[in-house]
Each structure stands twice: as structure tokens, then as C-alpha cells.
Structure 1
Amino acid sequence: MPVSPEYLHLVYPELAPFPALLYGRNSVDHTGQGSSVADQLHDGEALCEKYGWPVADTFQDTGVSASRHGKKVRKDFDALIKAIQEQRGRIVVAFEASRYYRDLEQYVRLRKACQQANVLLCYNETVYDLSKPVDRKLTAQDALAAEAEADSIQERNARTGRRLAEQGKPNGPLLWGFQRKYDENTGALIGQFLHPVHAPLARQAWTDLDSGKTLHSVAKWLRELGDEAARANGIQWQAQHVRAMLLNPAYLGKRTFKGEIIGDAQWPALLEGPEGEALFYRVKQRLEDPSRWHGKDAKVTHLLSRIALCGECGDHARLVMGKRYENKIFAVCSVKSDTALRKERLEAYVETAVLEWLSSPAARAAFFPESGERAAEAEKTSARLEKMRAQLREARELATKFDVETEDFFLSPMALAQLERTLRPKIKDAEEQLKGLTAGVPQTLQELILGSDPWAAWFGDEEAGQPGLSLEQKREVLRKIVTIRLFKASVRGVQKIEPGRITLSFIGQPGYVERPISLKEYARQQQEAAVTALTTAATRYRKASEKR
């Protein structure tokens, strides 16, 4: 039977003075109503002091769930199990059963450790000896109740999250760039609004990526801002944090649920209007481009490294920069090393040809065809999309209102479901169409094509105080507009740029490829070609045999 702490020394005199292992845990508690880990440990220390139990060690898991739904590892709980197994204490003390476990598997794990090490378990100011069947039964019942409560909380949170999503209200962690306001009396959420300091910085992140900067450089810039751009969780900005933010449609004022946009949000868009949407989808298109080099691109120090291709091997063979011949840097084929040219000569040739093309009518025609018609179509699609979204919002609202006279809802659940089935595909199609119409041209490329002097924009103008493009911006422009191929010289060792040795295929021209193919894709193409050739040969042989 369970024992009260005051009688413990009489029942188990051989275990005295009962060195205690204290454990505290809590989940994320946005309301501040739950018992904090510090409060739990304070109560445990007071209990130990009251009954003369020396505290041997303390363990705490903050912001970690004990249920099977939890995603974080309880490191201190694992350490507690190890301490029990090593008999570093004779009694384990916690605030209540649910602090230890909300999952039967974890209960069994703790029970087994205590039973084998002859360590007592204490919670709710009651001591249990898990070597006794009665105590095991009582603690198992508490474990079942804790697990059931955890499942109820999970279901309740899921329903709340779904309801808030349908209403377009915020839920969960605060988006960086926003702030929330609460009622001073009730603590209820009033709404989510743009943060006066963080919002402009967030917008700048999209602008920087659109201009050709990398995720790493934007993350570094945010880190250098210090407290001005600090994240709520205290974790420093890294490239993956910036990427997650830039791909989140919530910044367009859209509400998502389980990764899908389900309607408009009840907070202002950080990226407003058609221009904001165009900026968002340009950056999204760039970040999700499968041809982007995800290796160490942030540390690349050469303009054409892994952008230019080997014309001899094919579009899977990128040029890399390496030192050859008297420590000079050459662009070399990464597959066979069968083509090579001095880096400076290749870069000078490419930059000159690219800037001449950017100054030509061909560049304007490639990126700005029928710009007026495109803008009008985007505006028309946007208006149609908003009407469908408004119709769906109104229908959802009617489905929640009750007509006293007819004693029925203004819109039946079946009618709402039918409308949702009809409108959702149309809304999705309109969103995809709008993405294509508003994706547009990156800001840096617009300035190069439409500006008066692409050379000054590219290299900079010291007299006018105009900075040139950074290396990463230049690389992003090249990826967007041209496919560069390097071929062998007519005679081995010749470094002169002979006609046809470097070819540039600009967007819209024969030879331009949107992205180089991967080695895996190239191998698949080679395999398919071999199968086709073998099949053709077999067919010819069969036909020849039939004629004989």
C-alpha cells in the first residue's frame, strides 16, 4: 500500500536517509497558467526539507511534452532513468504523475527502473513501492488517466487549431515581423499586427533575395543587427530560418492549415498588393528551383563556378575553378577535365557579351513581352480570386448563424460542403494562374534591362557613388538569362579564345537550358538511350531475319 512521507522512515528504515532525485517538467504554456518547472522543483525541495530527505540530484525538462504526441526528446528524463539505475538516490520526487509521464511506455520504463533498483516513487505527497503489486496497480491507473488526459488535450488543440484556421485567426508561435495584442482584463487575443521594427526588416529580406543575395548573407545581416532583429526563441538566425520565413504565405495575409492555404487571414499582409505577391512568388520560385546549387554556394568566390558548362561532355558537366600551370586559376570541366581556360579570360568574355545583350532590344523582348496585357490579366485574375474567397467566407459565416424563425441554420452543412467542393479547386487554379502572371522579373534584372547604363549597374560608378552588383547578385543574373558552354581549343594548350570556343545561349534562343541536368538525370537519360538503341537494333535484326 502507498505510504505517507511522515511514516517512510518507519516502513523502510534500511533506505534512510532517503537521498532524493527531484524531477520537474512542463510543456509550452502560452497562457502562463500552468505550474512552472521552478515552482515544481521548489515544492519538491520543500517536501524533502520537511521530511529530512537530502537532495542528491535535480532534473528538469522545460517546454517538453511527456505524451506520445511530443516531438522533443526529454533529455533530463533519460538522465533521471540512468540515475535511478545507478542508485544515486533512494526516492524519486515530482509534483504529480503527469510530470513523469503522459504515455504508458514511459511509465513502464520508469517503473522497471525503480523496481530493479529498489527506488521509491513519490508524487502528490504519496510514496509508492513499485515492487508491490498494489502500488504498481495504483500508479498504472494514474498513468492511464494521465495518458487519456494528454489525448484529450491533443484532440482539443486539434479542434481549436482547425476552427481558428477556418476563421483566419492566428494560432501557435508568433510570426517574426508581427506582434500580438491582448485584452488587459481578460487576456483574450485582440489581434495580430505588424511589428514596427521587425516588419520593415522582414520586407528587406525578400527584397535582398530578389536582388540576388543568398540565404546565408541575409541570415548573417540579421545576426549582425543583434537585438534589433532578435527572434522570440532566442535562437540566432540561420539560412534555414530565413528560408522558412520567405516561403510562408502567411506574410501575404493568407491563412494556412496543414501546409495548405485555406483563405485570407485576419491580420494585415506584410507584402501588400500585386507587387507584394509578385515579390513573394519570385523569391519562392528561386528558392524552390531544383537547379540551385545547395552545396557551399554561399562560399563561392568565382563568378562562373558551377554555372558555366562543358560543351564537350554535356549539360551535366559544370565548370569548377582550380589552380593549374604556375598556380594560375583555370575553369575546368568537373567530369573529365577535358576543357580548361584561364578564369580571367572566360569571365571577361562572358561579362562583356552579357552586358551587350542586356543593352539590346532582345533582352527587353525576352523579359517584358506584352507587359500591359499581362498586368491587366493579373488584375482580372486577382479580382476573380477575391470574389470567390469572399463568397466562401460569407458561406462559412452563414453556416454558423441560426435562424430563429425557421429554427435552422441560414446555410446547411451539406450546402456548405458542396460549395467548398466547387470553389476550392477554382480558387486553387486561380492562385496558380496569378502566381504565373505576377512572378515577373527580379528587381536586379529589371534595373539592368530597363536602366540607362547596365555597365554602371553591373560594375558600379565611383564618381556617381553607385555601387556595383555583388558576386552573388551577378551569379543569380547569369543563372536567369544565359547558358554558357566552353569547348576545347583547336590545338591542345592554346589559351586564345577562338571563334566558337565559348558559346552563350540567352533565354529564348536555341541552346538555352533553364537548368543544368544532374548527374543522376544524365545517367537515366543515357540508360534510356541505350535501351532505345538496343530495341531498335533488335527490331532491325528481326526484320532482316524475316526477309531471309
Structure 2
Amino acid sequence: MPVAPEYLHLVYPPPFPALLYGRNSHDPKKKGRSVSDQLHDGRDLCARFGWPVLREFKDTGISASRHARKKRDDFEELIAAIEAGGARIVVAFEASRYYRDLEIYVRLRNACHANDVLLCYNGMIYDLSKREDRKATAQDALQAEDESEGIRDRILRTTRIHAQQGGAHGKIQFGYLRKYDPDSGDLIGQFPHLKHAEHVNASFRSIDSGNSLYSVLTRLKGEPSAVRLDGAPWTERNVKRMLLNPVYVGKRVHNGTLYDAAWDALLKKPDGEPDVALFRRVVKRLTDPDRGTQFDSRAAHLQTGITLCGECGDQAKMRAGKQRGRPLYDCADMHDTSISEALGNAYVEEAVLTWLSTPAARAALVPDEEEEEAEQSEAQSRLDTLKAQLGEARKLASTIGPDGALGLPVAALAAMERQLQPQIDEAQEAVNQVMGVSPLVRSLVMAPDPDIIWNGAPTTATGPEQPGLTLEQKRSVLRTIVTIRLYKAGKGVRTIKPGRIKLSFIGEPGFERKPLSAREAAERRAARAAEKAAGSGPLPVVGEPDLKDD
């Protein structure tokens, strides 16, 4: 049976060198007041009964349950101190400070038992070498674990309801501020931060206009009014996280499901509605598998990594090089196709600007807005339905019924995942396709003379100087509207003959909306090598022209 501290010396011979332990789970302001109070009570108890304190251990803001995400470093040191010897008693405020997980209880119990150390909590002392005390402490450990599970269930339920209502949660995102009731401290709501909201909009529209992530980062770091509320410096990582967060189109994410938020969107169309299309375009650009080339703000050449080798296939891209001091593009795979950089750029730019002035360009890039909005709504609805269906199945599979059986067998869940995941991927791709075009591309299509936007114009009597597009903006436009393939020229040919450069514009056969992934490119290279080794000739190339120079 447990012993009260005042009778300890009658049951066990002194001295009683003590180890103190304190812990709490929630400490948002990192002040550790609860832990300090626990340790103060422990010191007071030891002083009253003459137990010398050897060492104190504390874990602040760390859970002791099986759901804990952080390791309790001081608890591990406490176990080590017990096993090292010298201590006779361990003191904590209550059982749940030590553990809310039966496995952790067993570890502490075994360490105390093996080293003849007593366990003290709730003002009582337990000898874990005794059957009755082991049973009593085990019951307390079970109750602490059950209490933890109950707290977790209530928190999850409250969080889910709060998410469904669109309430703000977690860390404040850049661009917003929160207002609290001065009396109760309750959250009133989340509202746009006037200065920061401008920077959020500018960042999204900069990426949408073909600029790089690095250029956005540089601008934010150089703006005194763009200092983050948490004081953290801007990095490429947190800029990207900001640009991928649906909070800015008035959405709240909970367990992978999007809910309409209770706060205003920062990205808005002229009619005041959230600009979901803008958000999706930016997300697509930032998550594009070819983004390493696409977003390289240091790129010095218009077509590197964009133009494909028509001879080797779409897995082979053109790189910049030199031949006898002359800049050129050549095939990065086989080096069997090349062209003068200046000649290739002039041909491609002229062809692109000519196409942008055609009705075909307008039809391909400026669809009917009402029709596009209806397609967008339908695609998003299908995606949400499929995700919700899979989410419900996963939730059911984690539920245990009164008979101890899972609500949905694991095998059935696996079958549903195999069935639904391809449909979800297909629906996501459909959503991504319905996202409109960037303002940059739209301005080129709608301009009376796209060349002025592309190359700029000097100051005239009727207007000021108009700067042209940056190199990275031009590269962005090319990736959006055209797939370029370069083929071999005949020996001694100095001009571009028909079929030498094949341009497949958006909506035409041969246009590749999505670049090959690294895996797909590797598979095509392997297949081409196998075909060549077998002597069956080159693989057919998408969009290959009928006429080529030999």
C-alpha cells in the first residue's frame, strides 16, 4: 500500500535523495509557469521532510501521450539518472506528469524497481517492488492514458467543427491579422493586414506574370513594410509555402479537405470574387516537375531547357553552348542537332509574335469566361466528392466497433484506394487545366501589336518609353503557349528551311502541355537506345514534320 510522506522514515531507512520532475503539454508563451509551480511544490515537499534534492528535470510544452510529436529529453535524462543510482525517490505533482502512455509507465516502473527507487505523486509514495503498489500505479497510468485520449477526442471534434465553420486556426498567415475580445480574450476574427495584403497580391501576380520565386524573395526582403509578424526572415521556402496556401482565396484546409473560410480572400477578381484561377496557375507553376529550369532567374538564354530535340525525342532538350566562339543551342543528349542561338531566337520570336496576332491564339487562350467558370465548378465538385469519399473510407477504417472489429477492413480500404486514387489524380488534372491564362499572356493576345509588349518601345511624342519583357517572362510565355522542336539541317545550310524548327502552339497537334518527368524522360531514353541497338531505326517523334533537310 502507498505510504504518506510523514510516515516514510518509519517504513524505510533514510536518507531519501530525490529527483524532481515537472511537465506540461501546452505552453504557448513558453513561460513554463505550470512546470515551475510543479517543481516548487516538489521542493517544498522535500524540504518539509528533509529529502535532499539531487537534480530537477522539466519538459515544457511537450505531451506525454502516445500521440506526442516531440521527444521528452528531460524525461529520458530522468530515466538515465534513476538507472545511474544515487537517488532513492522520484517526485512529481501527479501521475499524468510522468506519463499518459502505458508503455512509458512500464519503462519508469521497471527503472524504479530495478534500482530500488520509490515513486511519489499526488502526495503519496509507492514502492514498485510491491504487488499492491504496482497495481495501484498501473490503474493510475491507465486512467491518465484514458484521460489523454478523451482530451484528444474532444480537441479533434472541436477542431473539425471549427474547420467546417471556416474559423481561423493555427499560426497567423502573412497578409492577415487577428482581433481578440479585450475582455474575454476570445478570437473575434481574421482580417486583411492592409500593407501585407498588398505584398501577397504582388507576389502572386509576379509569379503569374512569369517572374521567378527568387525575384519575389528579393523584393520581399528589400521591403521594410513586408517584415513578417513573427520576425522570421524571408526565405525561398517560406515564400513558396505562402504562395501554395489556399488561405488567400478564402479557404481553410483540415485533414486535406477544403472548407470555405470565414475571412476575406486576398486574391480577388474585379467582381470581388476569390481569384481561384490565379491561385491555381501559381500553384501549377510552383509544383511543375520542370520548375528547376522554369524558375531559374539566372537563365541567360531564351530557349535552353525549353526547345526539344526533334531527332532524339521529347526527353532531349537543347542546351546553350559554343562552336568556334559562336553561341548556339545543341542537343543535351546526343549533341547531334544544333543551331545558331541568334538565328534560332529570331525565328522563334517572330513566329510566336505572328501567332499571337491571329484569331487562333485568341480562341485558344481567351475562352468564354462563363463557360470556363462552369467547367471549373464542375471539375472542383467532382474532385471534392472523390476526396471526401476516400476520406470517409479512411476514417471508417480507423474506427473500432463494440465487437472490436474495424469499421472497414484494411483490405477493403486498400481496394478503395486503388480504385479512387487514379480518379482523384484525373480529377485534379482536370481542375488544373481549367485555370485560365496569366495576365501576361492575355495582354500579349489582346494587344494591337504584341511586339511592343515583347520587345518594348522607345519614348515617342505620344508616349513614354515602354520596357519589354524580361528574359524569364519570355521563357514563361514560351512554355505556356508553344512546344518547340529542332531538327537537323543539311550540310552547309546556313538558313532555316521549312521543317527545321517545328512550333506546335497550344491547341495544335504536337503541343505538350506538361513536360516529361525525369522518370518518363529516362524511360524514353532507354527505349530509344534499345531501338537503336536493335537496328529498327529511330522512334517516331510527336509532331515530326514531313519535310526535313538531309
Q: Same fold (TM over 0.5)?
A: yes
| Deviation of 1:201 (Å) | 2.4
Residues 366, 507 of structure 1: 8 Å contact kept: yes
Distance 1:135 1:467 in 2: 82
The 1:3/1:275 distance shift into structure 2, 3 A limit, reads closer
- 8 A Cα contact 2:59 2:74, kept in partner: yes
Contact 2:293 2:305 in 1 (8 A): no
Q: Offset of 1:299 from its aligned partner?
A: 6.4
| Alignment correspondent of 1:197 | 195
Q: Deviations over 1:90-147 (max 9, x none)?
A: 6544443323322212222333344445555444454444444444333322221111
Secondary structure of the structure 2 residue equivalent to 1:26: coil
Q: Which residue of 2 aligns with 1:396?
A: none
1:330–1:340 contact (8 Å) kept in structure 2: yes
Counterpart check, 1:485 vs 2:495? no
Give the letter aligned to residue 364 of structure 1: R
Matched, 1:505 2:511: no
Map 1:124-143; keep pairs closer than 5 Å: 124-143=122-141
Answer whether contact 1:177 1:194 (CA < 8 A) is retained: yes
Question: Does the Cα contact within 8 Å between 2:285 and 2:291 map onto a contact in 1?
Answer: no
Asked whether the equivalents of residues 274 and 438 of structure 1 are also in contact (C-alpha less than 8 Å), the reply is no
Is residue 257 of structure 2 the alignment partner of residue 260 of structure 1? yes
Which residue is equivalent to 2:276? 277
Q: Do the aligned residues in 2 keep the contact of 1:219 with 1:238 (CA within 8 Å)?
A: yes
Q: Residue 248 of structure 2: which of 246, 251, 267 is its match? A: 251
Secondary structure of 2:291's match? coil
Counterpart selection for 2:204 from 203, 206, 214: 206
Q: Counterpart of 1:182?
A: 180
The equivalent of 1:66 in structure 2 is 64
Q: In the alignment, which residue of structure 2 is the partner of 1:439?
A: 435
Q: Give the aligned partner of residue 218 of structure 1.
A: 216
After superposition, residues 14-53 of structure 1 pair within 5 angstroms as 17-18=17-18, 20=19, 22-27=21-26, 36-41=34-39, 43-44=41-42, 51=50, 53=52
Alignment TM-score, normalising by the size of structure 2: 0.70
Report how far residue 525 of structure 1 moved. Answer: 7.2
Mapping of 1:519-538 within 5 angstroms?
Answer: 519-521=518-520
Partner of 2:228: 230
Maintained 8 Å contact 1:23/1:58: yes
Which residue of 2 is the match for residue 516 of structure 1? Answer: 515
CA distance in 1 between counterparts of 2:458 and 2:108 reads 71
Q: Partners of 2:475 and 2:7 in 1: how far apart?
A: 76
Aligned to 2:474: 474
The answer to whether the Cα contact below 8 Å between 1:341 and 1:495 also exists between their aligned partners in 2 is: no
Q: Is the 8 A contact 2:21 2:92 kept in 1?
A: yes
2: CA distance, partners of 1:512 / 1:237: 37
Equivalent pair of 2:458/2:466 in contact (CA under 8 Å): yes
SS state of the match for residue 484, structure 1?
Answer: strand
SS at 1:179 equivalent: strand
Q: Percent same amino acid at aligned positions?
A: 45
Distance in structure 2 (CA, Å) of the matches to 1:4 and 1:327: 92
**Which whole-Å CA distance do the structure 2 matches of 1:55 and 1:216 have between them?**
54
Aligned-pair CA distance for 1:61: 4.0
Q: Is the Cα–Cα contact under 8 Å of residues 35 and 58 in structure 2 kept in the other structure?
A: no
Say how many residue pairs are matched. 476
Displacement after TM superposition at 1:151 (Å): 0.8
Q: Is the 8 A contact 2:181 2:188 kept in 1?
A: yes
Does the 8 Å contact 1:308/1:318 carry over to 2?
A: yes
Residue 243 of structure 1, CA deviation: 4.1
Is the CA contact 1:26–1:37 (under 8 Å) kept in the aligned structure 2? no
Seen in structure 2, the aligned counterparts of structure 1 residues 505 and 149 have a Cα distance that, compared at 3 Å, is same
Alignment-mate amino acid for residue 503 of structure 1:
K
* Mapped partners of 1:342, 1:317: distance in 2: 18
Name the CA shift for 1:117/1:472 in 2 (closer, same or farther; >3 Å).
farther
Q: 1:54 to 1:445 in 2, by over 3 A?
A: same
CA contact (8 A) 1:23 1:59 kept: yes
Q: CA deviation at 1:36?
A: 4.1
* Distance of aligned partners of 1:444 and 1:6 in 2 relative to their CA distance in 1, 3 Å threshold: farther
* Structure 1 SS opposite 2:275: helix
Quote the Cα distance in structure 1 between the aligned partners of 2:456 and 2:45: 72
Per-residue displacement from partner, 1:283-331 (whole Å, max 9, x unpaired)?
A: 2343454x5335895465344332221211111222344x666788754
SS of corresponding position for 2:191: strand
- Please tell me whether the aligned partners of residues 315 and 522 of structure 2 are also in contact (alpha carbons under 8 angstroms): no
Deviating more after overlay: 475-484 vs 328-337: 328-337
Q: Deviations over 1:22-49 (max 9, x none)?
A: 443323659x999544554555566566
- Taking the aligned partners of 2:273 and 2:441, their CA distance within structure 1 comes to 19
Let me know the Cα RMSD of the aligned residues. Answer: 4.5
Tell me how far 1:246 sits from its aligned partner: 3.5
Give the Å deviation of 1:156: 0.9
One-letter code of the match for 2:487?
F
1:155 matched residue in structure 2: 153
User: 2:445 corresponds to which residue?
Assistant: 449
TM-score scaled by length of structure 1: 0.70
